[in-house]
Structure formats: C-alpha cells, structure tokens
C-alpha cells in the first residue's frame, strides 16, 4: 500500500481490527490484511466465556480506542467519555463484587481484558487498570458503608480514582513515606505530598497511604479522600515521554482534614492494603504490556510483508524472519507468566505475590524489547509519529518502572529464594 | 404491535477476516483450525430484533441455528437463504433491509438496492434479510455475557419437524469442484486510447 509520496501507508494501530461494517465497506484495495499468526493467538486455552470477554474488549479497543490513541497522546487528552463507555460494559470494576456495581470476574479474566484493551490504547488501559485497583481496594478493605459510598460511582466511572503511595522522597522505599495523618478527634489532618500520581488533579477519589503511627510499614494507614476537600491541591501536570492520555501530577496535602470514617481497614493496615492492591496491579500492568507487544508484533509482520528492499519484501530476509519468530516466542512466554500469576492470585496461593512480581518483571521487560524490535523493523518509518509502533514503545517503557520497579521485583524474588 | 414475534437465523461461519483457502481435494474450503465467528450479518439481524423488542414493536425474539452440534456452515455469500425461505413459506420478502418499521399487520422495509433506496410495505408474516447499514450491533456487556451462559438453549432434533421420525432429505446439490481463481497475470501498459482500443479488439474482448 503506498500513499501519494511512495511511502508505505500508515497501518492502523491494530491491523485488520476495524469493526465489521466499516471494514466491509472499505474499497477492496484498502482492505487491511488480518495477521493470521495463530501461534500468538491470545485466545488459545481460554474458556468460551473468556473468549467472549476478550472479543468484546478487542472490539471496543479497535473501534473506540485505536482510532484515537495518537490524538489522545499528542493532545494529552484524558478520554473520560470513552472510559465511561467502557465502564458501561463492565470495565470500571472488573474484579469488584457485583453488589456494589462490579463485574465480579477473576484475575485471569481481568488480565485477558486489559491485554485486549491495551491493543487499542495502552496508556488509557493502564490508567483504567489503576482505577480498577483502587476500586478493588475499597471493595475489599472498606466497611459496608464505605463500599456503598464509593464503589458504585467508581464502577460506572461517574467518578475516577487515583492511587497515592509514591512521594518525592520515597519511591522504591515506599514504607519510608512521610505524609502524615495526625488524629484530631473524629478526623485525621494530612500534611505532605505525593508524586507521579496517575490521574492526579482530574480524578475524584484518592486512595492515600499516609503515616498515622511510628516509622516503617506498620505505621501506615490508608485513607480515601475526595477532590474538593479543603487542603487538597495538585502540582503542575507533568510532561511525559508516554502515558499522555492520563495526566500525572503531584498531590499536595496542607492541613487537609479527612473524617476517620474514610479510613480503609485498621490503623497500621495501610501498607498491607497497598501491597495487596499492587499484586493485582502488577498483573494488570504486565497485561497492558502484553497487549502493546501483541499489537506491535502484528504491525511488524504487516510491515515486513509490505516493505520491499533489494527487490524483495523484507519478509524474505531470514534475519528478520528469525527476529520475528523470537519476538513471538517471547510474547507467548510472557503471556504464560502473567496468566500463571493471575491464576495463583485468584486461588489465594501462598506463592501468588512472588509470582506476580516475576510476571511483572518478565513481561514488562520482554514486551518492551518486543515493541522496540518492532520499531526497529519499521526502519525510519518506525520513528515517525504517523506510525503507531513508536507510541507502544513510549507507552510501555514506564511499565518497567512503576508499580514497583523491575529492580524491586528482583528483590522480592531474591528474598523468596534466599530467605524463604 | 404486541404479539409480533421475531425469528432470527444465526450461523457460525468462517471469520470474515480470514483468508479462505480451498481444501485439499477441491471438495470444499479449509475449515480445520480456521477461526469461526458469528456471521456479521446475523449479528446485525439479531441486534435489530432486540431493538424492536426494546422499543415495544416486538414481543419476543427467538434466535435459531440449524446444523450439527457446532452449527457450522460455510457462508458461500450466495445471498439465497432468505429468498428461498420466503418462497417455501410463500411469505413476502424484504431483502437488504436498511430500515425496518412494523406497522400493525404490515412492516415497512427500506431496502438498499443498486439504484438507491427502495421502500416496500409487506404484509406480516414476512422474511427480511439484513444489510450492513441496518444497524451497528451493540457491545455485549460483561454481566450479560455471564448471564448468557445460564439462558436456556433448546435443542430440537430435525426429525421432530419432519413427522414420523423420517430423516431429513439428502442435499440436492453436490459440489463437484472448488478451485481458486488463477493467479493474477501481468498487465500491459498502452500509450493512448486508440492503442487501448486496438489491443482490446486484437484480444477479442470487443
């Protein structure tokens, strides 16, 4: 396919994934070839029901997200309406209990769904996974009153949530956080600030880990705050390499008064709540990486068949064939790691947390390498923003850093191996 | 409108995006290991049925599929099933429907035809077939997907309809051969219209 200037026409972010009517109405010459690629088919081994979930998520990604992912990135648009549409399908509280508006699905179902949505826009899906994590924390550790107060409007995405753990002085060393919450009668008074908060300033509900007791993890509690609370303010919107469809800001507390009734769980339980949230969060972020890598492999495959050099399609070049095969192999390996961890978590197995760390480590590293390799295969075109592959690379780069750096993931695995 | 019942035929066919290949032996197309999905036109027809019921124009929507356990068919793109059914039932037909409006004993159907749009008024009961422009099927919601598993699915043996337990008649069509079109050959460039005409005449096309 060539445009007027003789260069290959930009592929859709997700080749061949246009919804039926649009696709069949395209003139024959512009029909996009669907990658057959059955070896990386993400639906293998799934139940009929899971395949249906996946199909809805893929359809939604192709129709509602993929056509806009470039614009959302360039103009830094937080796609509220699109996410609300997703919430109407049940994507706002995927593993939250149905009695408060959630879909009550398993961690594996959730992984499948985020992987599929991520093929449409990784940045937006990653935010949705953070939102889901927050709703789950309130659903699981909140009392009945808190669940009913917060969860329904979060599941419908009438309101959006942010997870506030990281501070300017405490990233990997999360338990050393300084934001203090002083008890005063029926309230806590918060002072301090959080850094790099996804959605910060645009979201409505903030799940904040803060210090109510002594140093270390045991002194941390979890409070839920709402935007508009006096003393709650936000820093400037950060300019990022990727994840541009979600705003990132500092969250600042200055004598911010929060009722005791907004505390999730007991005093001192906050760090444990935060870490349990992250187990699922790590699977979700890894799943987002899987989706981006899958889309990138298909983009690379498409490019190799279309682009000619030295009189032949690039796909005739054995080096490139082998690299594509390696990318596919590593993608499937990463997917198996993630789904294995999801199963362990939903079964409540003892090894779940370390498996989640391994899966996050492996999948985010492998998938970044896959997307990066896919970009390389596009040659100079891969560096242009007309082509989707660079956005997948930029968007998933941060997955190796947040929700626990991949270095921290290694710490967790090493600890399991050496300290038992 | 109370009492209008809508029967929607649905079929599992080779996924529309798959490149169909002739099976070894030339007796059919490859189906083994090939991705199958609900026929997109069936999906659109089903969506229309559901919308009719939602706005009170129909009382009941029944989806039916005919075939083996897996209810699989190769969609030949023959565009015959609806028409054949209407002929067998001696019911009026409104094919390529892009708009459907029940009106009491009748149904008004706007059809996409080569010359533009044609509107017919058919006496019920009638057979309609869906055009792509009829509607945009909604996404299934996660809760609905889970509920679907629990919905009753009635399976009826074909012999029950034929009376006396007689087996269905054998197919009256036999596929003799299936082959792919010849690979595209090279074209020729000509400099002007007279040369084009000369070439067309020389090759016997005109």
A-chain CB neighbours of B17 within 8 Å are: 16, 23, 34
CATH of the domain at A241: 2.40.110.10
> Going edge to edge, which strands form the sheet with B116-123?
B116-123, B106-113, B93-103, B127-130
Q: Using a CB–CB cutoff of 8 Å, tell me whether B142 touches chain A.
A: yes
Of A137, A159, A181, the one marking the end of a domain is A159
Question: Is it the case that residue A40 has pLDDT exceeding 90?
Answer: yes
Check residue A128 and give its pLDDT: 98
For residue A53, give the CATH number of its domain: 1.10.540.10
- Domain boundary (A139, A159, A179) is at A159
A228 shares a domain with A262: yes
Owning domain of residue A71: 48-159
Which position has the higher pLDDT, A7 or B142? B142
Q: Is A103 within 8 Å of B19 when comparing Cβ atoms? A: no
Contact between A131 and A150 under an 8 Å Cβ cutoff? The reply is: no
Instruction: Tell me, yes or no, whether A314 and A245 share the same domain.
Output: no
Burial A212-251 (b: 16+ CB within 10 A, else e): beeeebebbbbbbbebebeebbbbeeeebebbbbbbbbbb
Instruction: Tell me which residues of A are annotated as active site.
Output: 403
C-alpha dihedral (B162, B166, B170, B171), degrees to nearest 10:
10
The pLDDT assigned to B75 comes to 61
β-strands A263-264, B5-9: how paired? unpaired
Q: Report the run of H or E that residue A188 belongs to, with start and end.
A: strand A187-198
Rounded to the nearest integer, the mean pLDDT of chain A is: 92
Asked if the structure places residue A40 within a domain, the reply is: no
- Please judge whether A56 and B142 are an interchain contact, meaning their C-beta atoms are less than 8 angstroms apart: yes
Q: How far is CA A356 from CA A23, A110, A338, A412, B108, in A?
A: 38, 14, 7, 10, 58
For residue A97, give the chain B residue with the closest CA: B143
Same domain, A288 and A391: yes
Long-range contacts of A316-324 (CB under 8 A, 24+ apart): A320/A377, A323/A373, A323/A377, A324/A297, A324/A300, A324/A377
Average pLDDT over residues A381-391: 97
pLDDT (tens digit per residue) in A197-246: 999 999 999 999 999 999 999 999 999 999 999 999 999 999 999 999 99
- Out of B43, B132, B142, the one facing A90 most closely (by C-beta) is B142
Mean pLDDT across chain B, nearest whole number? 86
CB atoms within 10 A of CB A315: 16
From the CA atom positions of chain A, what is the Rg in Å?
22
Distances from the Cα of A85 to the Cα of A64, A154, A157, A243, B140, angstroms = 9, 13, 9, 20, 12
3-state secondary structure (DSSP) of residue B91? coil
| E-only strand ranges, B44-202 | 60-64, 93-103, 106-113, 116-123, 127-130
Q: Which residues contact B16 (CB under 8 A, 6 or more apart)?
A: A20, A23, A24, B37, B40
Q: Is the pLDDT of residue B64 over 80?
A: yes
Looking at the fold, whether A107 and A242 belong to one and the same domain comes out as: no
Do B127 and B8 touch, CB atoms closer than 8 A? no
CB A332 within 8 A of CB A40: yes
Claim to verify: residue A108 and residue A54 sit in the same structural domain: yes
What is the spatial distance between Cα B128 and Cα B80, in angstroms, rounded to a whole number?
12
In a domain, A195, yes or no: yes
Indicate whether A220 belongs to any domain.
yes
> Where residue A3 falls among pLDDT bands split at 50, 70, 90?
very low
CB-closest option in A16, A23, A52 to B140 = A52
Q: What's the CA gap between A296 and A375, in Å, rounded?
A: 8
C-alpha–C-alpha distance, residues B33 and B36, integer Å: 9
Subunit contact B141:A36, Cβ cutoff 8 A = no
- Per residue in A114-140, pLDDT (tens digit) is 999 999 999 999 999 999 999 999 999
Whether A188 and A236 share a structural domain: yes
Helix (H) / strand (E) containing B28: none
Determine the average pLDDT of the residues in A294-299: 97
d(CA B147, CA A49): 10
* Peptide bond just before B125 cis, omega within 30 deg: yes
B5 touches chain A (CB under 8 A): no
Total domain count, chain A: 3
Report yes or no on A246 lying in a domain.
yes
**A61 three-class SS:** helix
Contacts of A27 (CB under 8 A, 6+ apart): none
Residues A71 and A90 in one domain: yes
> Do A166 and A154 reside in the same domain of the chain?
no
A261 and A286 belong to one structural domain: no
Ranking A274-283, A324-333, A363-372, B189-198 by mean pLDDT, the lowest is: B189-198
Top pLDDT among B132 and A420 is at B132
Contact indicator for A395, A320 with CB cutoff of 8 Å: no
Q: Inform me whether the pLDDT recorded for A4 exceeds 70.
A: no
CATH classification at residue A344: 1.20.140.10
Say if B40 is an interface residue toward chain A (CB within 8 Å): yes
What is the average pLDDT across A249-262? 98
Q: Do B143 and A16 touch (CB under 8 A)?
A: no
A-chain residue closest to B148, CA distance: A49
Average pLDDT over residues B7-36: 79
Cβ <8 Å between B139 and A89: yes
Helix (H) or strand (E) holding A162: strand A161-164
Residue A42 placed within a domain: no
Closest alpha carbon to A271 in A227, A226, A225, A207: A207
Average pLDDT over residues B117-134: 95
Averaged pLDDT, A107-120: 98
Confidence of residue B74 (pLDDT cuts 50, 70, 90): low
Q: A174 or B76, which is more confident?
A: A174
Test the B interface: residue of A37, A90, A112, A114 with most B CBs within 10 Å: A90
Determine how β-strand B5-9 pairs with β-strand B60-64: parallel
Q: Structure pTM?
A: 0.87
Classify residue A43: in a domain, yes or no.
no
Q: Examine the pLDDT at A53 and tell me if it is beyond 90.
A: yes
Average pLDDT over residues A93-98: 98
Long-range contacts of B103-112 (CB under 8 A, 24+ apart): B104/B1
Query: Is residue A385 a contact partner of residue A337, using CB atoms and an 8 Å limit?
Result: no
Q: Per residue in A359-381, pLDDT tens?
A: 999 999 999 999 999 999 999 99
* CA torsion through residues B136, B140, B144, B145, sign: positive
Chain A residues inside the 8 Å CB shell of B143: 90, 98, 103
User: What is the mean pLDDT of the segment spanning A400-405?
Assistant: 96
Share of chain A above pLDDT 70, in %: 91
| The domain boundary residue, chosen from A214, A245, A266 | A266
Which of the residues A41, A85, A89, A132 would you substitute to probe the B interface, choosing the one with the greatest number of B C-beta atoms within 10 Å?
A: A89
Residues A346 and A259 in one domain: no
- The answer to the question of residue A14 being in a domain is no
Residue of B12, B14, B17, B98 for testing the chain A interface, max A β-carbons within 10 Å: B17
Q: Please report whether residue A1 resides in a domain.
A: no
Q: B17 and chain A: CB distance < 8 Å anywhere? A: yes
Average of pLDDT values for A270-296?
A: 97
Q: Is the pLDDT of residue A6 over 60?
A: no
Predicted confidence band at A21 (pLDDT cuts at 50, 70, 90)? very low
A347 and A306 belong to one structural domain: yes
Are residues A290 and A229 part of one domain?
no
């Amino acid at each position: 396919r060539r445009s007027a200037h003789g260069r290959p026409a930009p592929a859709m972010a997700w080749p061949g994934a246009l919804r039926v009517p649009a696709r069949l109405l395209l003139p024959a010459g512009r029909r996009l070839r669907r990658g057959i690629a059955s070896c990386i088919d993400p639906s293998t081994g799934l139940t009929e029901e899971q395949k249906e979930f996946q199909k809805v998520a893929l359809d939604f990604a192709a129709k509602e997200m993929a056509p806009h992912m470039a614009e959302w990135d360039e103009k830094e648009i937080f796609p509220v309406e699109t996410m609300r549409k997703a919430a109407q399908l049940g994507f706002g509280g995927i593993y939250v209990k149905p009695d408060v508006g959630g879909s009550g699905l398993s961690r594996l179902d959730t992984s499948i769904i985020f992987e599929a949505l991520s093929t449409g826009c990784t940045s937006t899906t990653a935010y949705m996974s953070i939102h889901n994590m927050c709703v789950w924390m309130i659903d699981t550790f909140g009392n009945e009153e808190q669940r009913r107060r917060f969860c329904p409007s979060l599941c419908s995405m009438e309101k959006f949530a942010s997870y506030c753990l990281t501070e300017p002085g405490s990233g990997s060393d999360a338990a050393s956080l300084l934001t203090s919450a002083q008890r005063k009668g029926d309230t806590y008074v918060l002072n301090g600030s959080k850094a790099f908060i996804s959605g910060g300033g645009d979201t409505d509900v903030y799940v904040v880990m803060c210090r109510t007791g002594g140093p270390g993890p045991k002194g941390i509690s979890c409070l839920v705050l709402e935007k508009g609370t006096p003393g709650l303010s936000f820093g400037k919107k950060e300019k990022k390499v990727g994840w541009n469809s979600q705003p990132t800001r500092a969250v600042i507390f200055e004598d911010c008064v929060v009722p005791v009734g907004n505390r999730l769980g007991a005093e001192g339980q906050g760090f444990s709540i935060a870490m349990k949230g992250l187990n699922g969060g790590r699977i979700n972020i890894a799943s987002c990486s899987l989706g981006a890598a899958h889309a990138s492999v298909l983009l690379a495959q498409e490019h190799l068949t279309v682009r000619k050099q030295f009189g032949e399609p690039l796909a005739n070049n054995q080096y490139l064939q082998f690299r594509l095969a390696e990318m596919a192999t590593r993608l499937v390996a990463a997917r198996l790691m993630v789904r294995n961890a999801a199963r362990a978590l939903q079964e409540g197995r003892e090894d779940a947390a370390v498996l989640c760390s391994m899966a996050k480590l492996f999948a985010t590293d492998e998938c970044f390498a896959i997307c990066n390799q896919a970009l390389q295969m596009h040659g100079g075109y891969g560096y242009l923003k007309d082509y989707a592959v660079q956005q997948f690379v930029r968007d998933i780069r941060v997955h190796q850093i947040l929700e626990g750096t991949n270095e921290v993931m290694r710490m967790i695995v090493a600890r399991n191996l050496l300290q038992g | 409108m109370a009492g209008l019942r809508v029967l929607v035929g649905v079929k599992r066919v080779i996924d529309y995006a798959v490149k169909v290949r002739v099976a070894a032996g030339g007796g059919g197309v490859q189906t083994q290991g090939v991705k199958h999905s609900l026929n997109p036109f069936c999906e659109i027809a089903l969506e229309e049925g559901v919308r009719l019921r939602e706005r009170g124009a129909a009382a009941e929507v029944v989806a039916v599929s005919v075939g083996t356990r897996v209810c699989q068919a190769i969609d030949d793109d023959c565009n015959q099933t609806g028409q054949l059914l209407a002929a067998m039932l001696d019911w009026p037909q409104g094919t390529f429907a892009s708009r459907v409006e029940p009106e009491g004993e009748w149904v008004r159907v706007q059809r996409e035809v080569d010359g533009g749009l044609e509107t017919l008024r058919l006496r019920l009961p009638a057979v309609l077939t869906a055009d792509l422009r009829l509607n945009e099927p909604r996404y299934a919601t996660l809760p609905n997907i889970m509920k679907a598993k629990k919905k009753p699915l009635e399976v009826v043996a074909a012999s029950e309809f034929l009376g006396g337990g007689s087996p269905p008649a054998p197919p009256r069509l036999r596929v003799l051969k299936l082959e792919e079109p010849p690979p595209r050959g090279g074209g020729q460039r000509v400099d002007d219209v007279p040369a084009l005409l000369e070439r067309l005449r020389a090759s016997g096309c005109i």
